[in-house]
Amino acid sequence: MTDADLDNTLILETSKGPVTIRMRPDVAPGHVARIKELVREGFYDGLKFHRVIEGFMAQTGCPRGTGTGGSPKGNLKAEFSKVPYKRGVVGMARAGDPHSASSQFFIMFDDGDFLNGQYTVWGEVTDGMANVDRIERGEPPRTPDTIVKARMAADA
């Protein structure tokens, strides 16, 4: 891998095993920069997958573990693209306002074309999708899985 590849590779050590995500600064530079900043501050370490819907997605990134919180850094301006929501794509969760994403994100279990152009895509799983598939379902899950540690490959 080149240095640029390593700088845009996120490794999530989850309670189900490692998940590698290729970040997409070409389509969402602001979101990628925010995720990297939060990862390097340890923000995601220990956070729960608080909303996990069979056939849809696994969501994490809420410091409260409930889906009601975000980072102290404020909201991001939406960066919609033509990248479709397919299995393994990673997007930013948000409230009703398109410009309300902060720290929460989700990984798609299946295709979700109804999300296209509505939520910012910032990455895709390149390895470990089988581990994502094993995350416990529920809203919230009875015994939620977690991000044990998040790190950038460049920092490993």
Question: Does residue 75 contact residue 102 with C-beta atoms inside 8 Å?
Answer: yes
**Domain formed by 3-155, architecture:** Beta Barrel (2.40)
Across the range 101-109, mean pLDDT stands at 98
Question: Does residue 67 contact residue 92 with C-beta atoms inside 8 Å?
Answer: no
pLDDT of residue 2: 81
Across the range 74-94, mean pLDDT stands at 97
Give the burial string for 36-66 (b: 16+ CB within 10 Å, else e).
bebbeeebbeebbbbbbeeeebbbbbbbebe
When the pLDDT of each residue in the chain is averaged and rounded to a whole number, the result is 97
In sequence order, what are the residues at sequence separation of 6 or more whose Cβ sits closer than 8 angstroms to the Cβ of residue 156?
11
Q: What is the DSSP letter of 96?
A: S
Quote the pTM value: 0.97
pLDDT > 80? residue 1: no
Give the burial string for 73-106 (b: 16+ CB within 10 Å, else e).
eebbebbeeebebebbbbbbbbeeeeebbbbbbb
pLDDT in tens, 130-146: 999 999 999 999 999 99
pLDDT in tens, 26-76: 999 999 999 999 999 999 999 999 999 999 999 999 999 999 999 999 999
Across the range 78-89, mean pLDDT stands at 98
pLDDT of residue 4: 75
pLDDT of residue 3: 80
**Confidence bin at 156 (pLDDT 50/70/90):** confident
